[in-house]
Amino acid sequence: MAGSDSQPKKATPPRPAANAPRKPLQVMHISRKTDEEIFDKESSKRDISDKSKDKRFDEKVLDEKEISPLNKAPEQKKLIRNESTDNFTGTTMDDLLRSEINTEYKNIKAFDDQNVFEQKSRTVDDFDFDEDAFLEALEENQPIGTTGEIAKGSVITVESDGIYVDIGGKAPGFMPKNECGLGVITNLKERFPKGLQVEVLVTREQNADGMVTISCRALELRKSWDKVKNLAKEGKVIRVKINGFNRGGVTCDFEGLRGFIPRSQLEDGENHQSLVSKSVNTAFLEVNPERRKLVLSEKKAAIASRFSELEIGQLIEGEILTIKPYGFFVDLKGVSGLLHHSMVTNGSMRSLREVFQPGESIKALITDLDPSRGRIGLNTALLEGPPGELITDKTKVMEEANERAIKARNSLNKEKVDPQKEKEEINLSS
């Protein structure tokens, strides 16, 4: 059509002439023989390496199987090697690894069983046990000196800082200079010559070198506390020298112990500083070795001195101080005694005031004494003839109190002796 672009025509190759000669076909030849030889060589190398690895592994497994802690016979080893080589051809790597683990487990179990059997088959005689040698070794290595133990020994040498004492241990005991005794020791060599036998207290046990720390001072203080406890129990009065004072009281020394007397327990507490360098009689208020507390009393000493003048069965005269629901308190010249309502009369009374009045002077028998607690028990019922005589005729009872006290004292002594006779008779009969 007019006005439209015509598409270009493709060029057509020229046609060969009909009589032109044809070129021969080129064929690509592939040499199969060469490829097969290369593949065979590579596979053979791989087989050789695999066989060598398997052979090495086989030898290793066989060698480990041959090792046995049970020492098997040569015939058994040979049989095991033959069986393993026969069966090895058809096994895989997993089978070999599994068999190796099982073999090691069996060998270990067999080794443990053998050890257990050998241990059970042992006896005490296999160890050559000697009891005497064992006890001797224990005694040689036993530590000497425990804390708080009293030991005896002899002085070996004296140094500037202390003393060495042989107390029978691996090493001598050491006593520091300030532990050599109570007070100040100026010359240790004179106080502790070589060879002197001493008694000490162990204050610290053995150190790494086998040495213990000992003290003469601690032992003396222990003995002092024991002595003080016994004196306090017996209600004894001691005489001490005042060596100091403070706002609360005065201080003193007794048997190497520091004592304290409160101002309230002094006869002259207002001028307590004037008592320094003076000696006073005191009694024990508190004795506590654990807290190192020793408290004394001058007033209690006066009471204790009065107690020393009294005894059970003694007729005493005193004055009624106060009346309580449970009895009368009687002043006995510095100490007070208790006349309990059950000890006033053998008769029946409606009121305590029916018998005695405050400020009245009476006579009574001492039936109980407790110096440690400061108690004095009195009795007027023992002075009666018929029961209730004190209510009906008190004057007669008080006038004849001295004669009646002798009879009452004999009855009190009889009550003390009769229980002893009864015990003796029981012992003789048995």
**Domain-ending residue, one of 276, 302, 328:** 302
Residue 21: is its pLDDT beyond 50? Answer: yes
- Provide the residue range defining the domain that includes 267: 235-302
Judge if 273 and 327 occupy the same domain.
no
Judge if 404 and 372 occupy the same domain.
yes
Judge if 333 and 387 occupy the same domain.
yes
Sorting pLDDT into bands at 50, 70 and 90, what band is 225?
A: very high
pLDDT tens digits for range 358-379: 999 999 999 998 876 778 999 9
CATH code (residue 243): 2.40.50.140
Residue 275 lies in a domain: yes
Q: Are 315 and 332 in contact (CB under 8 A)?
A: no
Residue 71: is its pLDDT beyond 90? Answer: no
The fraction of the chain above a pLDDT of 70, given in percent, is: 62
By the 10 Å C-beta count (0-12 exposed, 13-18 middle, 19+ buried), 253 is classed as: middle
- What is the per-residue pLDDT for 149? 86
- DSSP secondary structure string for all residues of 293-327: EEEEEHHHHHHHHHHTT--TT-EEEEEEEEEETTE
Judge if 324 and 360 occupy the same domain.
yes
Mean pLDDT of the residues in the chain:
75
Residue 252: is its pLDDT beyond 70? Answer: yes
pLDDT tens digits for range 150-176: 889 999 999 988 999 998 877 789 999
Residue 416 lies in a domain: yes
**Domain-ending residue, one of 259, 274, 302:** 302
Judge if 320 and 371 occupy the same domain.
yes
Judge if 397 and 329 occupy the same domain.
yes
- What is the per-residue pLDDT for 339? 94
**Domain-ending residue, one of 275, 302, 329:** 302
Residue 281: is its pLDDT beyond 90? Answer: yes
Residue 56 lies in a domain: no
pLDDT tens digits for range 282-316: 999 999 999 999 999 998 888 878 888 888 889 99
Judge if 314 and 416 occupy the same domain.
yes
The fraction of the chain above a pLDDT of 90, given in percent, is: 33
Residue 257 lies in a domain: yes
SS3 196: coil
Own/partner pairs for 239-247, CB < 8 Å, 24+ apart? 239/279, 239/280, 239/281, 239/282, 240/279, 240/280, 240/282, 240/296, 241/277, 241/278, 241/279, 242/275, 242/276, 242/277, 242/278, 242/279, 242/280, 243/276, 243/277, 244/276, 245/272, 245/273, 245/275, 245/276
